[in-house]
């Protein structure tokens, strides 16, 4: 079945460092891909998404490119801030399917 | 817009009792609501999908008699954990969509602790 694998955390970086959180997926067909963020004490929020190959999703300085050839959707940010500390979930949704399959989440700590 | 609330945010109950968790879409009508369970250091696991006015569809391995879901209106879905046991302790999260192809908007979650 469809699945999402993302790098284990926690990831600890200093403020202004470059961030990459790896995500790969297994799916039949052409799924939509998502990154969700969960700030402490809050619910999940959609951070960005991409619906077809080579699409780049971006929001709040974060970017991820849908790479079909490597079945990846890595999350990147050029300069992280303390306020980016949260848990990040990579996820996919199959075509014509409203179910979302999540990765295990990666906790990110940004040190001032 | 697209705010989803859950109530309560935390609940502690004794083993054997039932607990009801509410999920509300505050500023939109949700034709579909989803219930997830989040285990520590693990992913969110979809428990069931509910459409307003019809029976919920449960994922494989989820006991429908234990986790009762009612989607009585376009703005409210409830999850009742019946005869709760300590292993039911978890973080329960709901989400809602306007249509089946719309983005899911997530609630803040409910932490259930069964003593």
Q: Cα–Cα–Cα angle for A59, A55, B93, nearest 5°?
A: 55
The model's pLDDT over A36-45, given as tens digits with 9 standing for 90+, comes to 999 887 778 8
Question: What single DSSP character describes residue A21?
Answer: E
Is A105 an 8 Å CB contact of chain B? Answer: yes
The model's pLDDT over A77-96, given as tens digits with 9 standing for 90+, comes to 999 999 999 999 999 988 66
Cα separation, A40 vs B95, whole angstroms: 18
Question: What single DSSP character describes residue A83?
Answer: G
How many other C-beta atoms are found inside a 10 Å radius of the C-beta of residue A6? Answer: 24
Q: Do B42 and A45 touch (CB under 8 A)?
A: no
Give the minimum alpha-carbon distance from B16 to chain A in angstroms, rounded to a whole number: 28
Is A52 an 8 Å CB contact of chain B? Answer: no
Question: What single DSSP character describes residue A98?
Answer: -
Partner residue facing B108 (CB), from A36, A43, A49: A43
What's the pLDDT score for residue A40? 83
Is A1 an 8 Å CB contact of chain B? Answer: no
pLDDT beyond 70 at B1: no
How many other C-beta atoms are found inside a 10 Å radius of the C-beta of residue A83? Answer: 10
| A4-8, A30-34, A92-96, B13-17: the lowest-pLDDT one | A92-96
What's the pLDDT score for residue B47? 94
**What are the Cα distances from residue A32, in Å, to A7, A104, B73, B75, B101?**
20, 18, 29, 26, 11
Quick check: B2 and B22 in contact, CB under 8 A?
A: no
Contacts of A26 (CB under 8 A, 6+ apart): A2, A3, A4, A5, A71
* Pairing mode, strands A106-111 and A11-14: parallel
Tell me which residue of A105, A44, A3 sits closest to B107, measured CA to CA: A44
What's the pLDDT score for residue A36? 94
């Amino acid at each position: 079945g469809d699945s999402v694998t993302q790098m284990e955390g926690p990831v600890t970086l200093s403020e202004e460092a470059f961030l990459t959180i790896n995500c790969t997926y297994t799916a039949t067909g052409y799924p939509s891909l998502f990154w969700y963020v969960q700030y402490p004490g809050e619910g999940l929020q959609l951070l960005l998404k991409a619906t077809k190959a080579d699409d780049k999703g971006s929001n709040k300085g974060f970017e991820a490119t849908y790479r079909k050839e490597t079945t990846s959707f890595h999350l990147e940010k050029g300069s992280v801030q303390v306020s980016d500390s949260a848990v990040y979930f990579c996820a996919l949704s199959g075509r014509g399917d409203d179910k979302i399959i999540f990765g295990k989440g990666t906790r990110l700590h940004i040190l001032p | 817009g697209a705010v989803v609330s859950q109530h309560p945010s935390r609940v502690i109950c004794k083993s054997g009792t039932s607990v009801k968790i509410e999920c509300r879409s505050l500023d939109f009508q949700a034709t579909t609501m989803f219930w997830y369970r989040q285990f520590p250091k693990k992913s969110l696991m979809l428990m069931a999908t509910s459409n307003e006015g019809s029976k919920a569809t449960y994922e494989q391995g989820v006991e429908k008699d234990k986790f009762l879901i009612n989607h009585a209106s376009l703005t409210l879905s409830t999850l009742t954990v019946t005869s709760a046991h300590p292993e039911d302790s978890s973080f329960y999260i709901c989400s809602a969509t306007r249509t089946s192809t719309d983005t899911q908007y997530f609630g803040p979650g409910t932490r259930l602790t069964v003593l």
